[in-house]
């Protein structure tokens, strides 16, 4: 009799036949950067996540590197006074993101540093671009700003720039500018299929853009959650324009998209387990409704769906757990 339970009988054979494996090398740790020194702030809607000033962040990065996590993704928390309609602070070479990149590369040079290329932390209205009088985000004018921001990150020493804004054509423009300025080896991780999702709420609290958005949404540039074929077109364009890696975001509700993208293109494909997914799981765990085992199960799900790596606020927790062999 064909008994599929036979191999499940013992731990040794369950391990031998496991089809997928999660390792620390699959993880990218998103971190929030504060101005000042010795600053550490909790994020209420993301229990366990802290915003850190650069000095504390550098120390944290040493721990992250020692755990075998390949890279961090930086998200600056911009003071309200530095926000404007045209988001000029985004390409300030002395900006928070730029200074954080330099500090990390100086102390932990082998840790990959990924920067967020998008204007929302720097606009007074919280949108990811420059708006017209009606509040519509202008595509090509925004691209000019994104190019300046990406070049500024590259000058600071960023290994990877990650445009998360969903303007059409920005990958091509950024790639061209990087090449023209001698940054031939700066990688682009494109947020290619980024959906207009309600799962980003806690992140907007963390970077302080929720208040600026005033309940507004990003539906005129981020994708409609109803769509799947459109994600394939978005990814195809970004690869053609010069992306080295592509991303699907959010994560768990969009694993079907991760699988389709991986099958269709076979390029390095990442998924972002976003703030709302983190908050949901942490809330249930804190209430005793779920155990922490859901964390590792959720991360393995990304591997099974075909992701090469996962951006997750659980990266440090997961790497520690993998190291201790649990
Ligand atoms: N450029 C904005 C950006 N970059 C990363 C996230 C969300 C990440 C998360 O929720 O964890 C967002 C939010 C948004 O689009 O409003
Ligand atoms: Mg696109």
pLDDT of residue 117: 98
Say if residues 325 and 278 touch (Cβ distance below 8 Å). no
Cβ neighbourhood burial of 29 (10 Å; 0-12, 13-18, 19+)? buried
Q: For residue 166, how far is its CA from the centre of ligand 2 (angstroms)? A: 5
pLDDT of residue 210: 83
Q: For residue 101, how far is its CA from the centre of ligand 2 (angstroms)? A: 26
Using one digit for the tens of pLDDT, what is the confidence trace for 1-22?
999 999 999 999 999 999 999 9
The ligand placed nearest to the CA atom of residue 234 is 2
Distance CA 121, CA 126 (A): 7
pLDDT of residue 212: 87
Q: Is the CB of 277 under 6 A from ligand 1?
A: no
In angstroms, the first-to-last Cα distance of the chain is 33
**Residue 194 annotated among the catalytic residues of the structure:** yes
Under-50 pLDDT residues of the chain = none
Using one digit for the tens of pLDDT, what is the confidence trace for 268-308?
999 999 999 999 999 999 999 999 999 999 999 999 999 99
Can you list the domains of the chain with their CATH numbers? Answer: 20-323 (3.20.20.70)
Q: For residue 121, how far is its CA from the centre of ligand 1 (angstroms)? A: 10
Distance CA 295, CA 228 (A): 26
**Residue 214 annotated among the catalytic residues of the structure:** no
pLDDT of residue 211: 83
Say if residues 262 and 245 touch (Cβ distance below 8 Å). no
pLDDT of residue 234: 98
Distance CA 241, CA 147 (A): 14
Q: Which atom of ligand 1 is nearest to the CA of 274?
A: 11
Residues 6+ apart with CB under 8 A from 104: 57, 58, 61, 72, 111, 113
């Amino acid at each position: 009799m064909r008994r599929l339970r036979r191999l499940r009988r013992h731990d040794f054979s369950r391990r031998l036949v496991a089809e997928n494996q999660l390792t620390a090398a699959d993880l990218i740790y998103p971190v929030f950067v504060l101005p000042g020194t010795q600053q550490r702030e909790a994020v209420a809607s993301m229990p366990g996540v802290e915003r850190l000033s650069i000095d504390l962040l550098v120390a944290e990065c040493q721990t992250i590197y020692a755990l075998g996590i390949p890279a961090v993704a930086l998200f600056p928390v911009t003071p309200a006074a530095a926000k404007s309609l045209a988001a000029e602070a985004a390409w300030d070479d002395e900006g928070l993101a730029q200074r954080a990149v330099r500090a990390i590369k100086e102390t932990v040079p082998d840790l990959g540093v990924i920067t967020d290329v998008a204007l929302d932390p720097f606009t007074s209205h919280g949108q990811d671009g420059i708006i017209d009088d009606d509040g519509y985000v202008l595509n090509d004018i925004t691209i000019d700003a994104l190019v300046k921001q990406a070049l500024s990150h590259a000058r600071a020493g960023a290994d990877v720039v990650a445009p998360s804004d969903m303007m059409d054509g920005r990958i091509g423009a950024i790639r061209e500018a990087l090449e023209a300025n001698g940054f031939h080896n700066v990688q682009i991780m494109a947020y290619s299929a980024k959906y207009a999702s309600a799962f980003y709420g806690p992140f907007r609290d963390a970077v302080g853009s929720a208040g600026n958005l005033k309940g507004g949404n990003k539906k005129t540039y981020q994708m409609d959650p109803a769509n799947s074929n459109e994600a394939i077109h978005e990814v195809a364009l970004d690869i053609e324009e010069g992306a080295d890696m592509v991303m699907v975001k959010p994560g768990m509700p969009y694993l079907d998209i991760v699988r389709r993208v991986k099958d269709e293109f076979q390029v390095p494909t990442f998924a972002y387990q976003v703030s709302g997914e983190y908050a949901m799981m942490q809330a249930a765990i804190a209430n005793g409704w779920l155990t922490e085992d859901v964390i590792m199960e959720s991360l393995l799900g990304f591997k099974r769906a075909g992701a090469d790596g996962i951006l997750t606020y659980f990266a440090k927790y997961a790497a520690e757990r993998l190291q201790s062999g649990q």
